[in-house]
Amino acid sequence: MILSYLFAHLYGYDIIIFMQEKSLYQYFEDKEKEWEGLCLRCGTCCGLYDDPCRHLKKDTDNNQYYCEIYPARFGLRKTVKGEKFWCVPIKKIIHEHWRGDYLCVYKRLIKNNLWIKS
């Protein structure tokens, strides 16, 4: 188990409250879900406006995009035109530019200094 703390200023006193939390594994799993939940599924990081990944599909019900092999997406892949590329986590390419990246919520959070640092 991991310990975390809450630092508060209460009635003129600084206090630290220690709390026992879930396992470290569960903590990181929850953070990953939180991170994934921010994505608006714009498809631009998967090449939507250039030569998209072959696995990028459009959900016509909600006008969003998704990867048809999402759990196994990382690694060597091909675009619609047959070009090879390495699919990597968005965190590894967030500093790069791609067409339509202004639609990416992660890029907007960084640009507006609203990045979650926990």
Task: Give the number of domains in the chain.
Answer: 2
Residues 89 and 43 in one domain: yes
Residues 63 and 25 in one domain: no
Residues 11 and 69 in one domain: no
Residues 59 and 115 in one domain: yes
Residues 32 and 52 in one domain: no
Residues 20 and 50 in one domain: no
Residue with the larger pLDDT of the pair 30 and 118: 30
Residues 19 and 73 in one domain: no
Residues 28 and 68 in one domain: no
Contact 45, 39 (CB under 8 A): no
Using the predicted structure, report yes or no on whether residue 107 has a pLDDT greater than 50: yes
DSSP the chain: --EEEEEEEETTEEEEEEEE-S-HHHHHHHHHHHHHHH-----GGGTTTSS-BTTEEEETTTTEEEETTGGG--EEEEBTT--EEEE--HHHHTTS--TTGGG-HHHHHHHTT-----
Q: Which residues pair with 54 in a beta bridge?
A: none
Give the range of the structural domain holding residue 71, as residue numbers without chain letter: 39-118
Residues 79 and 32 in one domain: no
Q: Record the pTM.
A: 0.71
Contact 7, 14 (CB under 8 A): yes
Residues 31 and 48 in one domain: no
Q: What is the pLDDT of residues 95-106, one digit of tens each?
A: 999 999 999 999
Residues 72 and 83 in one domain: yes
Q: What is the pLDDT of residues 17-66, one digit of tens each?
A: 555 556 777 888 888 898 899 999 999 999 999 999 999 999 999 999 99
Residues 23 and 45 in one domain: no
Using the predicted structure, report yes or no on whether residue 69 has a pLDDT greater than 50: yes
